[in-house]
Structure 1
Amino acid sequence: MHWLIESWSVLWHAGLTSIVLLFIMILYVRINGLRSFAKMSSIDFVTTITIGSVINSTIMSDSNSIIKGAIVVGFLLLLQTIFSSLKMKLPWFNKLAENQPLLLMRNGKFLYKNLEKSNVSKSDVVAKLREANAIDLNNVYAVVLETTGDISVLHGSKKTEPDSILLEGVKDSNRSD
């Protein structure tokens, strides 16, 4: 029955810790900016998950202090900012730290080799196509697995092709070029 019921002191501790950490996180986001919890890169994604884990363990464990949790979260956000700066300034660091986006579909055709390589199923892509309101596969120019794991769909009239910058840096292992 202990797994259903908890003492008032434990509940009070968890509630108070949650409130304090919420205000600390608001302060951090105001200082660090909205990128704190964005999923713009794999580093951002990993940082967000790690911060969630730290907050959870700080709230759920009596052995982790609020100060310790706040310092760890602050350090993670600082590392995220440093990594982001290094990625912009050093191309080799960006290549080392980030995955390359991968083309999953081109000109209405599924790229099965890339689907297999990325462990993404055709049905996953079809679901994203529906989500993007794609109606005709002939009007789908590209489907890209982004570095964050999101799937982007570029579609429109066949008369208009997307600007080349939209596919800059996207890997297509189906091509030999």
Structure 2
Amino acid sequence: MWFDSWGDLLRVLAVGAAAYAVLVLVLRLSGKRTLAKLNAFDLVVTVALGSTLATILLSADVAWAEGVTAFVVLVLLQLLVSWSTSHVGPGRSVVTARPTTVVRDGVLDDAAMAKQRLTPAEVRQAVRSTGAGGLDQVARVVLETDGTLSVITASKLGDSTALEPEDR
């Protein structure tokens, strides 16, 4: 249908504006980490917040108060998980994957790439995006916990303290 009623449009405007304002307030109160996308769990929460906002906007079956409650629950769970990953040793490994080195000293690690479902072409693309023309210029390529590839050229390796201890 192209148009149902003015009442439906007014509901979307009123509830949408109110839900958006509450979402911004909740996100400001919860801190920067809520939308940081540092790992897969952070991404899931971000997507869930967007989905919740869309549901509040478009479904007359969901009351504004229910949507606000959903925002608060998601953000509180995100805060709980992020607190536990930084304060409880085993908590981090449950939610966050470990970084994986896929290139070491210019050599592709085929086993690591296969385990992480990466192709050599994807790794080479990440290397090219840093301006390096060859793998011989690369000290490490690390698949980070958020799914990005970090490229450390040999000239930027430094003392390698930013790498995992077993990668030095």
Please indicate the TM-score interval, normalised by the length of the shorter structure. Answer: 0.7 to 0.9
SS of residue paired to 1:31:
helix
Choose from 82, 85, 90 the match for 1:87.
Answer: 85
1:63 matched to 2:68? The reply is no
For 1:170 and 1:67, the matched residues in 2 are separated by 49
Equivalent residues of 2:52, 2:70 under 8 A apart: yes
Query: Which 10-residue stretch deviates more, 124-133 or 92-101?
Result: 124-133
Q: In the alignment, which residue of structure 1 is the partner of 2:23?
A: 25
- Taking only the aligned residue pairs, the percentage that are identical comes to 25
Unaligned runs of 5+ in 2: none
Query: Which 10-residue stretch deviates more, 14-23 or 57-66?
Result: 14-23
Choose from 71, 74, 77 the match for 1:73.
Answer: 71
Deviation for aligned residue 1:27: 0.7
SS of residue paired to 2:162:
helix
Aligned residues: 166
Q: In the alignment, which residue of structure 1 is the partner of 2:3?
A: 6
Equivalent residues of 1:132, 1:153 under 8 A apart: yes
SS of residue paired to 1:99:
coil
1:161 matched to 2:157? The reply is yes
Unaligned runs of 5+ in 1: 172-177
Equivalent residues of 1:101, 1:147 under 8 A apart: yes
For 2:165 and 2:28, the matched residues in 1 are separated by 32
Equivalent residues of 2:39, 2:96 under 8 A apart: yes
> Could you tell me the TM-score, scaled by structure 2's length?
0.87
Choose from 115, 118, 124 the match for 1:117.
Answer: 115
Deviation for aligned residue 1:117: 0.9
1:99 matched to 2:97? The reply is yes
Deviation for aligned residue 1:135: 2.7
Deviation for aligned residue 1:39: 0.8
RMSD (Å), alpha carbons: 2.0
User: Which structure 1 residue ranges, 4+ long, deviate > 4 Å from structure 2?
Assistant: none
For 2:71 and 2:160, the matched residues in 1 are separated by 38
